[in-house]
Amino acid sequence: METRIERPSGFLDILERLAGQIPGAEAAVFCDAEGESIEFWGRLDPYDIKVAGAYSSIILHLFEAAAGRGGPAVEVTVTCSDLTLLVRKIGHYRLVLLLRGRSWSPGLDAALDAAAARFALEAGLAGS
């Protein structure tokens, strides 16, 4: 784990709990709509985690543009041989989860729902 210069926010507990529930979790990050990192957790290099968060907004934007009138993307999953990137929209924010390989868990959706709800509560978002 990395050495932090700044004091961790209240969101770190949410990310740690999420990672503890998901086998194969390598990193998780909350970021805003522009991709700026709010808080992160992970076994990967902090820079790489923040870059994954930054690209999450681009990925969602591309899918929304491609969907056209199909409505906005709420969740996108990109899988390759070594890593799975999962991006979930929470209002104007994003929850990004990086999983080892093609790791998937039967409880993944419920854990993501709980983390998103806790984030919305902690951030004071009504109805997200």
Please report, for the chain, the start and end positions of each structural domain, with discontinuous segments joined by +.
11-123
Q: Which CATH superfamily is domain 11-123 in?
A: Dynein light chain 2a, cytoplasmic (3.30.450.30)
Q: What is the pLDDT of residues 66-82, one digit of tens each?
A: 877 666 778 888 888 89
* pLDDT for 49 beyond 50: yes
Q: What is the pLDDT of residues 3-39, one digit of tens each?
A: 455 556 789 999 999 999 999 999 999 999 999 999 9
| Nearest to 87, CA basis, from 69, 66, 60, 65 | 60
Query: What gap in Å lies between CA 99 and CA 89, rounded to an integer?
Result: 17
Q: What is the pLDDT of residues 58-67, one digit of tens each?
A: 888 888 888 7
Burial letters 62-81, b for 16+ CB under 10 A, else e: ebbeeeeeeeebeebeeeee
Q: What is the pLDDT of residues 78-111, one digit of tens each?
A: 888 899 999 999 989 999 999 998 767 889 999 9
